[in-house]
Structure 1
Amino acid sequence: MAAQFGRRLRKGAATTAVAAAAVAALSASQAPGVTVDDQGRQNTGDATSVPDATVDGDDSATGNSPYYTDLPPLSSPNPSPSVGSETGTGAQGATEAGIPATVLDAYKKAEAALREKKPGCNLPWQLLAAIGKVESGQARGGRVTADGTTVSPILGPQLDGNGFALIKDTDNGAYDGNATYDQAVGPMQFIPSTWEWAGRDGNGDGRKDPNNVYDAALAAGHYLCRFDWDLSEPKDLRKAILSYNNSTDYLNTVLSWLEFYRKGTHEIPDGSGSLPVDRSDDGVRPGITPSAPGTTPPARPGTRPGKPSGSRPTPTSPAPGGPSAPPTTPPATTPPTPTDTVGRLEHAGTASLTAMAGHTFAERISARAETDAGKAVAKVRIRFTIAGDTDTTFAGGESVATVVTDASGVAVAPALLAGEKTGAFAVQAAVVGRSVKGVAYKATVTERAADALVRTGEKALTCVPGGEFAEPVEVRATYRGEAAGKVAVAATLVTSADDPTENDKGPFFKDADGKAVRTLTGLRTDADGRLTLPKLYADDAAGTFLLRLTTAGGATLTVELTVAPADTPSPEPDPSSDPDPSPMETPTP
């Protein structure tokens, strides 16, 4: 059966001993934490990896939702078997090991996009494939339309705290259709509060749809790369996977599929993939069959499947010959969570923020969660959102960050990185899962500036009337001793040292039409703060002229330009015109 990935002996082994020997050899290449017993079964029970820190459900991509636990086939997919093959894993193994065409294309396109946007992340498409396999069985075996949208929505069970994380509704049911609790959505199983900021448009249709495999794969890639992790480093790879779902078993299951896909895989037709059924929530809720992705999640007590929350329950009769339903036991009263006790959110000493474009804001935003009585509330999720027309981001390149309050009730947002757009914007802080008034912080990005400007050469700049200057004007801008890159510079041929108005004679630049201009704007230094001005020409006026350069931030440099006729060399004597030599005196006899 397709679900028995982790419990199948290799085909073709004549005896248990032969199979065990073959599996032992294969196990050396398995992911860390995955072991193989003497009967050829893979498991993660002996895994020693543990998460770096406790991650609350809403701080993971999936809300720590259930996932498929099936492990890869024991036979490598390289060379790729055909679907009808009777060798290797056979036809069933081919569909288990293969990846549906559209889904595979989405993973590879996401890898290419991240290679351009975040090259230091080194995201492999095989990691997206491994997560997609564990989260949704590759979009339910590739049951997607031509544009990558799942034939029907993929929904995880509602996160109501009954065997799962407790995440109350954050999207009013917009993504998951549940206005009471959140549910993970789509082939990569994002919870709505994460998709709200992590969602991407991967297929270029102008929408961010968690049920579209192109959108979901690109969003997953950005999510895994958000903290400047280098996924070619095992430590960062581990952190990234645990941030997706904070479970050691989840980590090892994903690593198993990652290693399997790295050895080689093959494309299969859309809709032909097999769907695993072993899930991490098997038996979590006694008497309730876990909902597989794409099926209606279990109904809450007191509701009828297909009815919205709050509908009057309809008594049902037991099936003929079946046992009578046990009496319903009133649910125990759930103690309030820290989030339930928050009465207000306050500024935590953050002043107004200002930074130069391309620089990191010196101060970080912080907010404090308090009860109505003013007592600090720890372990509360605070979501910081950058709002306004700005390209400023938090460290990692995202516009949203969720931080848990510490023992003093304070959550400190990641550092802000100023973009290139100047002007004011706001950062809004709100309590996740609690309707209390948020707080806003004003921030401003100023243009790049320099406080010093110098020539990089010392050679005199000279030209003859009507000619052109052989030496270009080269300068370097700095700010507080460091190179000032991308700083705006203006250059003007001024009348005199005391008169900054544009001169009407002397040296000049040429515009695109070849006409003389004596003022240039829109110049910018390069990343090293250097700038080479366009070629300078001279009219017929001779003398000493001044070129003044100014930068944003007030740096100024005045350069002397000399226009003078070329020196006239002294004529060489013409031998043919030399006078006769003086007659020699005749000696006296």
Structure 2
Amino acid sequence: MSAHFGTRLRKGAVNTTVAALAVAALAASQAPDVTADTQGRRTAADTPATEAGADAGTDDSATGNSPYYTDLPPLHSPNPAPTQSSATTPAGGGAGEAGIPATVLDAYKKAEAQLAQAKPGCNLPWQLLAAIGKVESGQARGGDVTADGTTVSPILGPVLNGSGFANIRDTDNGAYDGDRTFDRAVGPMQFIPSTWAWAGRDGNADGKKDPNNIYDAALAAGHYLCRYGWDMATTSGMRTAILSYNNSTDYLNTVLSWLEYYRKGSHEIPDGTGTVPTDRSDDYTPSPPSVPTTPGTPSVPNAPGRPTKPSTPGKPTKPSTPTKPTPTPTPAPTPTETVHHLEAAGPAKITAMAGDVYTDRVSARAETAAGKAVAKVRIRFTIVGDTDAEFTGGENVATIVTDSKGIALAPALQAGEKSGAFTVRATVLGRTLSALDYAATVTPRAADVLTRTGDTALTCTVGGEFADAVEVKATYKGTAAGKVAATATLVKAADDPTVNDKGPYFKGAADSPVRTLDLQTDADGLLRLPQLYAGDTAGAYLLRITTTGGAVLTVELTVTAAETSTPTAAPVESEPEATPSAS
């Protein structure tokens, strides 16, 4: 026992050094907002605001703060660093730890590529997924997966029943974790069912979202880390994202150590041959070594003496009254169990123009039957209906923990391009209570002012085409109104919006005259009309442009008659007069 304890102590000292070196390396290479002291430790300016994460209350962690592997990487990466495609194990310190099973590594890299397309501002490196995968499941138990990436047997965390862990009542009826009483973290990236319900992804395009599949789980982890606009190229963004995965500073430092290790060198190894960690956060403190007893002075046998006189037997004692059994105390209800209903903590109806962020945020207050606020309750907000609106970060579901006032504030809501009504629904996780619905509306993009970008008079002769194109700019409340629907019509008169049947026109199919067009402004609010042709009738005409939102602009067009030349009369030759005769 004492030898084992000594090994653990020495390992702890090494791990502390590795963590310090990893943080120092990140401070030197990752982003400009990292600070560290001379020992590689994070300074006060770089310390998370709370143990629950820099954005405490934003989400309830991907894993439900389940236990994780605490093993740290060796002090040195493989030397020389292997290529990413190398299938051989290079020589040098830590070569075995740097190996990542082939299917698992492929899943991480594919997730990185998909996130680069879906959320380029996140700058997610696959090494971060590998670091989390190492800490959560030892790279799916050393790559013990089938050809499609599914673990050979399910990977389940401990029962989250509040005994040393979080207390999370069942949310999936046992569908993912097989437990209908409490939840458990599931799969190689250790998602709890309530998080997987909205964060789950189909990473291998098989039509399923399986938390036990490394392709699905890696892609889901990438989207989870990239929500709310967090940028992994900055220390603050990466730190907040990692802490949201598991709210522990020790967890953060462990993941950062593996991230830095994999960045310095890693290589592919066959599935099933990876190194599986041994130390876990729920079994990290070893038992103290047993202390041997000091041998004492041997006792000397007593010399034989006189026999003692037998004592007089006493009176029998009166039997004592049996005590009543102490009843087992009833455990205090969890905060979730005390919630009776949800109340709207903000507007019940919200509206935004297509493409805009809603000014009002959806929020709900958890209350007891007596109307008292309940803190530390998980509220799930779900976007329901035919809409492309989404929460900041591209998700349609968000889980928020109520604050000390019992209020959960949903992330900012971004309107899509599809106009119409939809619902934002709030529910209490772990309870079957009536949902609280918020009515949301998306109105079409609009403009309130139209102006010409030029002031040249628009004139043309009969049968010709206008030399200058008609171009206008749309604005809404002084800001460029992009992607706004507009209609251009040649009207009969200022007070008669009927389409004119003569005069200028646009060309349609087979060069047929068209005098009304449905158009749209570009991203900068500009609208350049197609070529205008004069027609065969001279006169003054009106072109009217209208937009969604009520902006109207009438442009004058002038068509002049073609110039005609006057022919010059031919000279008339005069005959010479007759000369009078002499007679």
TM range (shorter): 0.7 to 0.9
TM-score by length of 2: 0.80
Residues 191 and 5 from structure 1, CA distance in 2 versus in 1: closer, same or farther, beyond 3 angstroms?
farther
User: In the alignment, which residue of structure 1 is the partner of 2:81?
Assistant: 79
Please say if 1:504 is aligned against 2:501.
Answer: yes
Please say if 1:162 is aligned against 2:166.
Answer: no
User: In the alignment, which residue of structure 1 is the partner of 2:22?
Assistant: 30
8 Å Cα contact 2:484-2:521 kept in structure 1: yes
Please say if 1:558 is aligned against 2:554.
Answer: yes
SS in 1 for 2:455: coil
User: In the alignment, which residue of structure 1 is the partner of 2:101?
Assistant: 100
Q: CA deviation at 1:355?
A: 1.1
CA deviations over 1:75-128 (Å, ceiling 9, x no partner): 313422877668314xxx444211122221221121122222221111111111
2:454 corresponds, among 433, 453, 457, to 457
Residues 335 and 520 from structure 1, CA distance in 2 versus in 1: closer, same or farther, beyond 3 angstroms?
same
2:200 alignment partner AA: G
Report the count of equivalent residues: 503
Residues 519 and 33 from structure 1, CA distance in 2 versus in 1: closer, same or farther, beyond 3 angstroms?
closer
Please say if 1:368 is aligned against 2:365.
Answer: yes
User: In the alignment, which residue of structure 2 is the partner of 1:274?
Assistant: 275
SS in 2 for 1:133: helix
Distance 1:419 1:535 in 2: 33
Please say if 1:172 is aligned against 2:168.
Answer: no
CA deviations over 1:162-193 (Å, ceiling 9, x no partner): 11111111111111111111111111111110
Distance 1:212 1:64 in 2: 21
User: In the alignment, which residue of structure 1 is the partner of 2:219?
Assistant: 218
Q: CA deviation at 1:442?
A: 0.8
Q: How does 1:466-505 map to 2 (within 5 A)?
A: 466-505=463-502
Distance 1:86 1:423 in 2: 59
User: In the alignment, which residue of structure 1 is the partner of 2:577?
Assistant: none
Distance 2:334 2:65 in 1: 18
Distance 1:211 1:496 in 2: 69
Distance 1:28 1:58 in 2: 28
1:207 alignment partner AA: K
CA deviations over 1:239-279 (Å, ceiling 9, x no partner): 11111001111101100111011112111122221211211
2:338 alignment partner AA: T
The root-mean-square deviation of aligned C-alpha atoms, in Å, is: 3.2
Distance 1:254 1:442 in 2: 41
Q: CA deviation at 1:58?
A: 7.2
8 Å Cα contact 2:23-2:41 kept in structure 1: no
Please say if 1:548 is aligned against 2:551.
Answer: no
User: In the alignment, which residue of structure 2 is the partner of 1:41?
Assistant: none
Q: CA deviation at 1:230?
A: 1.5
User: In the alignment, which residue of structure 2 is the partner of 1:535?
Assistant: 531
Please say if 1:431 is aligned against 2:423.
Answer: no
2:394 corresponds, among 372, 393, 397, to 397
TM-score by length of 1: 0.79
1:487 alignment partner AA: V
Q: CA deviation at 1:505?
A: 1.4
8 Å Cα contact 1:385-1:427 kept in structure 2: yes
Distance 1:481 1:58 in 2: 37
Residues 405 and 151 from structure 1, CA distance in 2 versus in 1: closer, same or farther, beyond 3 angstroms?
same
Distance 1:46 1:332 in 2: 46
Residues 567 and 51 from structure 1, CA distance in 2 versus in 1: closer, same or farther, beyond 3 angstroms?
same
Distance 2:210 2:413 in 1: 28
Q: CA deviation at 1:338?
A: 1.7
Q: CA deviation at 1:139?
A: 1.5
SS in 1 for 2:278: coil
Please say if 1:422 is aligned against 2:414.
Answer: no
Q: What is the aligned-residue identity percentage? A: 68
8 Å Cα contact 2:367-2:373 kept in structure 1: yes
8 Å Cα contact 2:378-2:400 kept in structure 1: yes
Q: CA deviation at 1:516?
A: 2.1
8 Å Cα contact 1:5-1:71 kept in structure 2: no
SS in 2 for 1:197: helix
Moved more, 95-104 or 480-489: 95-104
SS in 1 for 2:74: coil
Distance 1:512 1:218 in 2: 48
Please say if 1:117 is aligned against 2:109.
Answer: no
SS in 2 for 1:127: helix
CA deviations over 1:344-380 (Å, ceiling 9, x no partner): 1122242311111111222222222211112222222
- Structure with larger Rg: 2
> What runs of 5+ residues in structure 1 fail to find an aligned partner?
10-19, 35-43, 287-328, 578-589
Moved more, 398-407 or 163-172: 398-407
Q: CA deviation at 1:467?
A: 2.1
Moved more, 360-369 or 78-87: 78-87
Distance 2:57 2:165 in 1: 12
CA deviations over 1:433-479 (Å, ceiling 9, x no partner): 22222211111111111111111111122222222222111111111
Distance 2:559 2:238 in 1: 64
Moved more, 346-355 or 276-285: 276-285
Residues 159 and 46 from structure 1, CA distance in 2 versus in 1: closer, same or farther, beyond 3 angstroms?
farther
Q: How does 1:292-307 map to 2 (within 5 A)?
A: none
Q: CA deviation at 1:563?
A: 1.8
Q: CA deviation at 1:404?
A: 2.5
> What runs of 5+ residues in structure 2 fail to find an aligned partner?
1-5, 27-38, 288-325, 572-583
SS in 2 for 1:31: helix
User: In the alignment, which residue of structure 2 is the partner of 1:323?
Assistant: none
Distance 1:330 1:83 in 2: 63
Residues 69 and 570 from structure 1, CA distance in 2 versus in 1: closer, same or farther, beyond 3 angstroms?
farther
Please say if 1:358 is aligned against 2:362.
Answer: no
Please say if 1:335 is aligned against 2:337.
Answer: no
Distance 1:200 1:245 in 2: 20
8 Å Cα contact 2:116-2:123 kept in structure 1: yes
